[in-house]
Structure 1
Amino acid sequence: MMALRTTVIMKTDIRGSTVRFRALPAVDLDALLTEHRAFVSRVAAAHDGRIVKPEGDGFWVVFPSVTAGALAAMSMQEELRLAQPGKGDDRLAMRIVLTLGDVLHQEGALVGDAVVLAARIEDITPPDEVYLSATAWLALNQAEVRTSFVDAFAVKGFPEPVSVYRIEQTHHTRIITGQYIVVTDLDGFSTLVETSSMEAVEKVLNRLYKLVGRVCREFSGTNLFGAGDAYTLTFLDPGLTMAAVEHLAEEWGAFKRRDGIRCPMNIAVHKGKFYAFRSFIYSTDLIVVGYVENATRRLPSGDTSIFVTGQVRRDLVGTPWDERLQPIDVQPTSPVLAEIEIYRLC
């Protein structure tokens, strides 16, 4: 006979996933779901939690205490926001529910009122929020996690309205240091838009989007944000950064030549830091790399070009890229560039 165990249950769900996922090719959908599962599993494990069962794009997760589950939920929400700055309504957003009760664990399944209640509360939980049942709220260490009362709701399967609480998530600015910041832009894209069909423009943007995503996955990068034909990416290792931008340049060059696209890519790389608050990011170094890309775009090339600042070059001493970096003179487009050394990868 299977025994009931008092269990802390977390239920996660991605907002508006059905419509979003329909627009993704199968390979991209599989990569997104695999990455999301790894993310939920990693954060849960850091708080002694484990995934018991996947359900669509969501997961059933168990924890040793409500406080551990609450801290994990807060970490998930914060990390997910910081990983998608500047994406607005297009970003991935989760809703998370925590309940507590006697649950039957049977062959990977969870059975009990706490399980049913988690599913019911999930239906009323807004994106980016963490909601708790009354029993979970009572067991929570209020000194570690701030909460507030939402309301009492009539839900299917429960004779009386159930009280629901929300976690008051605190947001603090994080300083992200040691970042290799990459800005890419297509030269001549405006002309392409004005002189080509919508299908041709869409083909270029789709190819660029897929290529950037693949490069980030293969070289452990992060796509901070994109706007039209321009992207801002970050990497943590100088060698991986250079390998990534070279691969990006080679793949884009091959596509450009094969399809006769007159849009060479300009790539600028700078090392620095940025600040993250909620889903916003900002820093002087982001401005610097933007100015570097803008200034080097005026140089004669005709093909994809890669430029790095002196801060990056110093970290490449002794690598195969060191000897290929040649200093260049550019007319500073801003006082920000006055003290910045710029090198072209030859």
Structure 2
Amino acid sequence: MKFVDEAYIDVAAGDGGAGCVSFRHEKYKEFGGPNGGDGGRGGHVFAVADPNLNTLVDFRYSRRHHARNGQHGMGSDMFGAAGDDITLKMPVGTIITDAETGEVLHELLKPGEIITIAKGGDGGFGNMRFKSAINRAPRQKTPGWPGEGRKLKLELKVLADVGLLGMPNAGKSTFITAVSNARPRIADYPFTTLHPNLGVVRVAPEQSFVVADLPGLIEGASEGAGLGHLFLRHLQRTRLLLHIVDIAPFDGADPVAQAKAIVGELKKYDAALYEKPRWLVLNKVDMVPADEREARVKDFVKRFKHKGPVFEISALTREGCESLIKAVYKHIKSQQVAEQPATYIDPRFSGDAAE
């Protein structure tokens, strides 16, 4: 299951309806005067941030979104009806960019936030608008104004609640396989993971969260070394980072030095990402003799100077994984409650008109 975080769509608002040229034709009224109405405005195209969505996959298969045109004006002083608006539901965190100019138009950050991404054209004037003391039988009318049309790029930075950090061969892919439904490629050589993988972690029948396994980071990643830097932006809105460390590297490397290198690259790339909640997960404890495990863990934590939660697991044997995912779910749930209102109300039906 790969990241589906980018889509290109065409949106077009409706054109305004044309005005009407019409005159009253009533019995005993020889000169009834003009009564041609205005055309209706074209439909707008709105975008709404829906907290129930977490992917842009729908826009991969539905690229064209066109609102209806306004109706033409009619006689008897009747204006044309406005075209129906359309509302595109997008996940919270979607960045909307003009695909032709590269200008960022908007970023949907709050659940229920609604914006206009293409404005419908105004309706044209009917001949009743041109009536005056010196022009009592005008035959002028104007066409409707065209609606806005745009080519848009949609980009979603968050597709997972939890992001995995770590060196190549730290055991991230094995961990995501152990706790979720994802089945990434796993091998005993570096850079097995070439693209992000998503997995849904089921804590209970109705309790779950999404975890992302990214290609491993190496020193110099913030300057472009390796593959991990290409996907760091996907972590910018995850709620929690799990820093997975191989506590028993097969090549005899110092795990503390490796862990500090990862943290350094994170800080260089984005200071805000560096400040995000980050838990330390010491993996492959099954490779450490039981009588040495406690001392090695204490030594690592002391030298690494980590102040957050620390977990000891073996992704291969699944030792410690259950307690970790329960703690992660509890943390995510508490953040979700703080971030969102208790009940999500679609703004289209809340009585507030979007302008």
TM over 0.5: no
TM range (shorter): under 0.3
Rg: which structure is higher? 2
- TM-score by length of structure 2 reads 0.27
* Greater share of residues in helix: 1
* Greater share of residues in strand: 1
Higher relative contact order (CA closer than 8 Å, sequence separation 6+): 2
- TM-score by length of structure 1 reads 0.28
